[in-house]
């Protein structure tokens, strides 16, 4: 399990590959990898968003992300998880979040990855402030899951 929080842009695909190549200890046992990469849109609630500031309490956020990763590993027979998240100032098209799961089979990989991103989006202690063309606002709720 790896949890990382960044205040600078990062390459999601390179980070996933690096974790798998250098840190992942389950070679040969993995039959499925499911990544999710979330990027910042330039719109929300019908308004143009110029940038966003994402706040968090580091220790609280770290503990929560570790908790949901552990829950996923207990709920599904997965081999490993990766969660990477941006904080600070974020611009449209910047990567905000990466979630990936490794499993022996695709079903567990898909289900656990979906669980992690939904838990993160709806309950993790992050607070978003959007800068619009005319002013700014705090985001009260995330987009609903499908």
Write the DSSP assignment of 8-46 as a string of letters.
Answer: S---HHHHHHHIIIII---TTT--EEEEEEEE--SEETT
pLDDT in tens, the chain (146 residues): 999 999 999 999 999 999 988 766 667 788 899 999 999 999 999 999 999 999 999 999 999 999 999 999 999 999 999 999 999 999 999 999 999 999 999 999 999 999 999 999 999 999 999 999 999 999 987 766 65
Determine the CATH number of domain 2-20+29-138. Answer: 3.90.1170.40
């Amino acid at each position: 399990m790896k949890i990382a929080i960044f205040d600078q842009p990062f390459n999601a695909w390179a980070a996933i590959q690096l974790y798998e190549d250098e840190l992942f200890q389950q070679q040969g046992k993995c039959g499925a990898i499911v990544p999710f990469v979330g990027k910042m849109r330039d719109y929300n609630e019908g308004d143009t968003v110029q940038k966003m500031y994402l706040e968090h309490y580091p220790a609280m956020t770290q503990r929560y992300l570790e908790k949901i990763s552990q829950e996923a590993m207990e709920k599904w027979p997965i081999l490993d998880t990766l969660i990477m998240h941006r904080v600070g100032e974020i611009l449209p098209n910047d990567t905000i979040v990466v979630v990936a799961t490794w499993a022996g089979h695709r079903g567990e990989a898909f289900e656990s990855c979906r669980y992690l991103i939904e838990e993160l989006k709806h309950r993790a202690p992050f607070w978003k402030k959007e800068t619009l063309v005319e002013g700014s606002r705090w985001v009260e709720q995330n987009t609903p899951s499908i």
